[in-house]
Chain A
Amino acid sequence: MQIRVAFFLVFLLLGVSQTVWAKKESTTKAVQPRQLSLLRVNVTGQGYDYFRPWQKRAPFSKRALGAVLSQGRVLVTADLVANQNYVELERAESGEKMAASVEVVDYEANLALLQPQDKKFLDGLSPLELASDTAVGDRVAALQLEQTGALVVTDGLVTAVQVMHYPVEVGQFLTYRLSIALQYRDNSYTVPLVKNNKLAGLLLRYDPRSQLMDAIPAPVIAHFLKDAAKPEYSGFPTVGFDYFPTRDPQLRKYAGETGNGGGVYVTDIEPGTAVEKAGLQEGDIITAIGNFDLDQNGNYVDPIYKKLDFTNLLTTRVYSGDKVLLKIHRQGKPMQLDVMMEHRTPDEYVISPYSRDEAPKYYILGGLIFQELTRQYLREWGPNWLKEAPQRFVYLDRFQWELFPEGHRRVVILSQILPVNGTIGYEDFGYLTVTKVNGKDVHSLNDLAEAVKHPIDGFDRIETEEDPKVIPLDVAQAQADEPTLRENYGISALQRLK
């Protein structure tokens, strides 16, 4: 019955849109905007080179679109402005340009707000409102611009709404999946999707072979905009635990579940997260979140999308600082937990999951390069980094909560060795995990910088988890090698601790 109602609604929507627009435009079924709400965004930037952390990479430039919102704001994807040096807005119809600043950026939700130096620059463009009611079966239109500034409209069909990872792979958020034959344009970076002249989403990724697009949906954009209006941007709440379905009758019995109710089995609670503070335990069965009951696979019935992963209730539908009620069963006994939702920043990880706009830390001691292990560093091995990067580091990253449950620390690595007089015979070492320096525990690059101030009998003693276990460095020799390092390797500063 429910399904029939949904189909009926879709039909109704299509019907309405056709009656309004059929006369003017017969080739596309989706709605076209009456006025232009787009402009071009040109970005020049430079990322950091994690293999040579003292320098930046070659500059890049990207050309994209921005969606004009009310109050002189322009919405783009965060990917576009990552590591930017200069952002410029360009009017498509006139070519007029103006510098812009990045007001708020959220790399996890992949959204950013820009503002032109002078808001008058946007005069004549019609700000987009949000269409937050898109559901499976709806048609939406992707907007692109021709070189001439003319609008290209491509019709697409929403085929699925699900909760997925975004590019930085931190958190899972609501995503629309569309079937759409998107055309290539040189400014396809941020492609807005509209429905009934309202902003329904932004392009997240597109696969030209299968013609499938994932889009950041309007509810995620609305969440971001509401947060961005606060004096301090807090970010989407972090879930902080893994779960397992409860379909297995033997696991249900073990967990004290009688009957055939819903709920998910909680595993691997990340230390320091909101759910841990609220008292959630491994083995608890979460049966409901707020007023929504979970089924045995962890889905709830969403008013718009019907069956959807419960993660949506903890990321997109709530805000950091909100209280969420978890109904749980602990060994069969019903309980309730109040969780004060929080956002976990990349700094709060032992091995930070991503880093943008930020120079990597490093410390060079007589040719030995020390860095803090981050996933950004591991990603330097390319898209296949999980297989290609040093496997030991991949393991540390993957199981960081299990290996460092106490948190509040970093993992310092000896990433590589630059040949100088003092490192003769050390050339085979690299990708080592530093445990101690001069007898002191090293839990951050700052610890290391402090420890090397106290050499023992003229030597810095570096201890590593892996062979060779101990690397002694002659302090006088290390100092003597400093000019060589600066000149031969073009390293202007031998450390960056921020």
Chain B
Amino acid sequence: MQNGKVVGVAFQGYSGDIAQGVAYMIPTPVIRRFLTDIKDNRYDKYVDLGLTYSKLQNPAQRRYLGLPDDGRGVMVDTVIEAGPTGKALKQGDVLLSIDDHAIASDAFVELEGERVEMPEVVERKFKGDKVKFEILRDRKPMTLRIELNTVWPYQMQAHHYDTRPRYVVYGGLIFQPLSLDLLDAYQTGDPRVRHYFDYFILEQIYLQHPDVIVLTNILPDPTNTYLAAYRSSIVDEVNGKKMTTLNDLAQAFAEASDRFVIKMIGGGPPLVLDRKEVESARERIRTRYNVIAEQNLDEQPVSAQVSAKSEEPHS
């Protein structure tokens, strides 16, 4: 508080198990944005351009792109197809200005008298707002107007609060979509799972696998005695059908087939489940492990409250 007015919300960083002893403050632009966003009683979360870019400070690189030596512009590296710029921008485009703020070659813009990084312009906006870019494509100037939206694949790499995790339990096998929260909980060292997490967006893995379905755990039962080796595998197919979302998997298990042949990504033997055996084990597993629901396919908020995404820096 300052002079009776809110200037920020303070919090302390926390590294693993010790407090950092340094306070950070969520500044008023962030608070104001949050308050504006929830005016309609719905939190739309942050919008994003959905792209990566690099600075343009190498003289040869500037000449190569046909830019003068004026310290302006950044180059687009990867455009995320699922994002708002997915169709509008492409690799190699040079972004010269955003909403008429000149973009410097170190990716900073001047906003309300302060030098801030270019995405800050977008972070103060809301879902449905437009942003104007002046760009250079193949040395030709162009002006683009882009309607902003959230970029859903980013949600996979972000923490989620107050929502029940999605899962499917079948034959004691727990299948869950890969996410930051899941990795935090399981601490898997599996190199494939880590790669699918790290490159979910940059390698556009989300296009083929909107959900990366991981067999995270096994509730031991006579029907799954020999399946421990499949833990941390990523589901590719069930009975020849590609599994792209957790819903696909739930549907596949609902089919009346004699057995389910689950192929995992990257070879290895298929995991084979006999439906009759799984069905006969169903009650046993439910009672032994107190499984209240065998699946949760929607990420519903725990209560009807507004669920806010935390913006604290990860330490």
Contact = CB atoms under 8 A, between A and B. Distances in A.
Interface of A: 242, 244-245, 247-251, 253-254, 265, 267-268, 282-283, 386-387, 391-392, 394-395, 398-399, 402, 422-426, 428, 459, 461, 466-474, 477
16 contacts: A248-B225, A250-B277, A254-B270, A267-B267, A267-B268, A268-B267, A391-B198, A395-B192, A399-B266, A425-B55, A425-B56, A468-B77, A474-B59, A474-B63, A474-B64, A477-B60
Q: Name the 3 nearest CB pairs between A and B, nearest first.
A: A425-B57, A425-B58, A248-B226
Given A423-B58, A425-B56, A425-B61, A244 B268 contact: yes
Contact of B273 (A250, A428, A466, A468): A250
A467 B269 CA distance: 35
Contacts of B192: 395, 399
Interface size class of B (residues with CB under 8 A): 35 or more
A265 B267 CA distance: 12
A468 B93 CA distance: 12
A466 B203 CA distance: 9
Interface string B193-228: 011001100100000000000000000000001110
Contact of A471 (B59, B61, B198, B269): B61
Contacts of A244: 229, 268-269
B165 interface: no
Interface of B: 52, 54-61, 63-65, 75, 77-78, 91-92, 189, 191-192, 194-195, 198-199, 202, 225-227, 229, 259, 261, 266-274, 277
B191 A472 contact: no
Contacts of B267: 267-268, 282, 402
A358 B192 CA distance: 31
Contacts of A268: 267-268
Contact of A459 (B64, B261, B271): B64
B269 A267 contact: yes
Contacts of A472: 58, 60-61, 64-65
Nearest to A468: B54
A251 B60 contact: no
Contacts of A426: 58, 61
Nearest to A426: B58
A461 B195 CA distance: 28
B226 A468 contact: no
Given A469-B78, A471-B61, A395 B195 contact: yes
Contacts of B55: 425, 428
A466 B201 CA distance: 12
A466 B63 contact: no
B202 A466 contact: yes
Nearest to A471: B61
Given A251-B272, A468-B54, A391 B261 contact: no
Contacts of B269: 244, 251, 265, 267, 283
Given A422-B60, A467-B202, A473-B60, A398 B191 contact: yes
Nearest to B225: A248
Contacts of B266: 399, 402
